[in-house]
Amino acid sequence: MSLYALCSILFSIGLYCLLVKKNLVKKIIGLGIAEYAVNLFFILLGYRQNGEAPIVDTYAAAGQYFVDPLPQALILTSIVIGLGVTAVMVAISVRIYEKYRTFDINEIRRLKG
Amino acid sequence: MVPLFVIIPLAAAFLIPLVAKVRQDSARWIANTGAWLLLCFSIASFWWVKNTAIVYSVGGWKPPFGICMVLDSFSALMLLVINLVGCIVLLYSLDYIKKYTSPHLYYTLFSLLLAGLNGLAISGDLFNLYVFLEISSIASYALIAFGTEAEELEASFKYLVLGSVADVLILFGIGVLYGRVSTLNMADLARSLQGISLADPVLYATALFLVGFGLKTALVPFHAWLPDAHPAAPAPMSAMLSGVVIKVVGAYALTRVIFNVIGITPLVSTVLIVLGVISMAAGVLLAIGQWDFKRLLAYHSISQIGYVIFGIGLGTPLGVAGGLFHLFNHSLFKSLLFLNSGAVEYATGTRDLRKVAGLSRSMPVTSATSLIASLSIAGIPPLCGFWSKLIIIIAAFQANHIAGAVVCILTALVTLASFLKVQQYAFLRVVDNVSREAREAPLFMRAAMIGLALLCIATGLFFWPFMESVIKPAARVILDGVRYAGMVLGG
């Protein structure tokens, strides 16, 4: 249960930063934190106390258990996706900076919302 | 056959930048050929499916362990929506996108978007669904910013922030489900979750999915990005965003996960109905005061997607069928309206309804097709929008949601008023020396608009056979709920 609570707290910190901060770069960092919280959550789901590396032949016979390998594979994919989203975000904020000469969201407000 | 829906657009997306180095012009033909092939396959898929599910195991790993792709009637309907609109929009782009620099990048991103959406519609694995969701999202972020003007970049950033919040929430939800039952295959999840109906973590995951996909669908408390993002994109892309993306990425994925994987409960059903009703009313009330043509259409998208979610949320056979039928119809007439707005902008250089006038004389095709689309969206009898709204309203009365039904009817009236305004200001009003020099749109743009208008009329006239052969089987998949598991895994 503490796993859910702690990851939710970290996630909320990232979400807060993404939604409330006025600076575009801080927003990007906030997204990073939120993504890492979810990645951490997945990895911890697969963690087993005293677990071994998941190589079936050696350990299954000996009655030892190993960590769940699936979340690790998923998180590799998820990190790459996160990289893609961050790259698009950074590219767009650079272009926004070229247009407005600022990263402050208060001064970038032509759209009504 | 199933993986072709991902392979064709993905191959097109990789081929275009390579070939465009040698011949700039070839990009658009590769993208268009790919889209036509996809359309043929998605029409053929109705014959392959026939009320069953075709399961393709990626890499030969059998379903509960490997990733699988599932083509059932619901997926087939979504594939038809994606590829039909995608195909027509690409035809329109042939002329429209010439005014931008480096059009081959547009076609690359568009093919990637098609790959993401098609993959999303046939995915049978929850994490795989997330990956395709991200592919289509990243492509649409880039396409919204395609003009690289200040407003477009700002709108794209806004969509990026809220879109990535949605993505992270969905991923978190997937994690919570995985932590509960240790599987990601959607059919296997449905089977494993049956015993433990809505234990705490599952309810938490449901809430995360509702917010995540609600953001993607732009249901009302989560709609702030849509009226900025959809008008900022190039017109064919707006048509794709409003006509297809919010439905596949939002409504389809939400329905699939809520109905077929977790299983619908009265609580979730109520939430969907309330969200749908609020979106319907708020969207249309915000729309009627708009003067920017595309912004007005974008607010109407929120309102119309409210009908879809309301119909599906009712959970009765008639309601779900009405919701899906409205989803299909909305993809036709809303794409057509966005293409019309693109044609108006192409001819006059402005989207402000107060600055254009009397276009019915100088642009007869645009004017006539937009009239058909406006009447469809307002729900005038022989056209397609009328039947789906009628079905949803009847279903609401049957299910004893009188308030919802009344909101449906009132929303339809306000929609009619707001499109009368569009017709009056842009097309019918005669004012001297305004928009006189406007010329009718080029050939391919006209062809695309006429095609969609004919489809609107045809769907309206032949709504009954269409209901029976296409919509009903798809509705049955949703209504079967978690029995989806048996269909995919067998037994």
The predicted structure's pLDDT at residue B432: 63
The predicted structure's pLDDT at residue B102: 84
| DSSP states along B212-273 | HHHHHHT-GGG-TTHHHHHHHS-HHHHHHIIIIIIIIIIIIHHHIIIIIII---HHHHHHHH
When the pLDDT of each residue in chain B is averaged and rounded to a whole number, the result is: 89
**pLDDT tens, residue by residue, B72-91:** 899 999 999 999 999 999 99
> A95 and B138 in contact by Cβ < 8 A?
no
Nearest chain A residue to B180, by CA: A45
Q: Which of the 8 DSSP states describes residue B361?
A: H
What are the boundaries of each domain within chain B? 4-489
The predicted structure's pLDDT at residue A89: 94
CA distances from B381 to A73, B332, B428, B475 (A): 53, 16, 22, 23
What would the two tokens of residue B11 be? Answer: 């191959």
Q: List CB contacts of B313: < 8 A, sequence separation 6 or more.
A: B269, B270, B271, B272, B273, B275, B276, B319, B323
Nearest CB among A18, A70, A74 relative to B165 is that of A18
B297 with B341: CB under 8 angstroms? yes
Nearest CB among B142, B168, B176 relative to A34 is that of B168
* CATH classification for the domain delimited by A2-100, as one of 3.30.1600.10, 1.20.200.10, 3.40.50.2300, 1.10.287.3510: 1.10.287.3510
Give the gap in angstroms from C-alpha B70 to the nearest C-alpha of chain A: 20
> A4 and B167 in contact by Cβ < 8 A?
no
CA distances from B162 to A14, B174, B212, B248 (A): 13, 19, 9, 17
Q: Is the pLDDT of residue B220 over 70?
A: yes
Q: List CB contacts of A113: < 8 A, sequence separation 6 or more.
A: B224, B227, B228
Mutate to test the interface with A, among B131, B160, B211 (most CBs of A within 10 A): B160
The predicted structure's pLDDT at residue B424: 87
The predicted structure's pLDDT at residue B310: 94
The predicted structure's pLDDT at residue A102: 85
A67 with A46: CB under 8 angstroms? yes
Q: Which of the 8 DSSP states describes residue A10?
A: H
The predicted structure's pLDDT at residue A69: 85
d(CA B417, CA B374): 10
Nearest chain A residue to B134, by CA: A81
**pLDDT tens, residue by residue, B237-295:** 999 999 899 999 999 999 999 999 888 888 899 999 999 999 999 999 999 888 899 99
The reply to whether B203 touches chain A by the CB within 8 Å rule is no
The predicted structure's pLDDT at residue A113: 46
> A38 and B168 in contact by Cβ < 8 A?
yes
Q: How many residues does chain B have?
A: 491
d(CA A22, CA B321): 44
Nearest chain A residue to B222, by CA: A113
Nearest CB among A19, A85, A92 relative to B156 is that of A92
**Residue type at B93 in one-letter notation:** S
Q: Which of residues 223-242 of B touch A (CB under 8 A)?
A: 224, 227-228
**Residue type at B101 in one-letter notation:** T
Does the reported pTM lie above 0.90? yes
The reply to whether B167 touches chain A by the CB within 8 Å rule is yes
CB-CB neighbors (< 8 A) of A93 in chain B: 157
What are the boundaries of each domain within chain A? 2-100
CA distances from B25 to A12, B16, B102, B103, B113 (A): 48, 10, 10, 9, 21
Separation of CA B395 from chain center: 22
**Residue type at B141 in one-letter notation:** Y
Q: pLDDT tens digits for chain A (113 residues)?
A: 788 889 999 999 999 999 898 899 999 999 999 999 999 999 998 888 777 777 766 555 556 677 888 898 899 999 999 999 999 999 999 999 998 888 888 877 765 54
The reply to whether B150 touches chain A by the CB within 8 Å rule is yes
> A89 and B142 in contact by Cβ < 8 A?
no
**pLDDT tens, residue by residue, B405-428:** 999 999 999 999 999 988 888 888
The reply to whether B442 touches chain A by the CB within 8 Å rule is no
pLDDT-based confidence at residue B5 (cuts at 50, 70, 90):
very high
The predicted structure's pLDDT at residue B175: 92
> A4 and B176 in contact by Cβ < 8 A?
yes
B239 with B294: CB under 8 angstroms? no
B248 with B254: CB under 8 angstroms? no
**pLDDT tens, residue by residue, B360-419:** 888 888 999 999 999 999 888 888 889 999 999 999 999 988 999 999 999 999 999 999
Q: Which of the 8 DSSP states describes residue B386?
A: H
> A85 and B167 in contact by Cβ < 8 A?
yes
The reply to whether B306 touches chain A by the CB within 8 Å rule is no
CB-CB neighbors (< 8 A) of B224 in chain A: 113
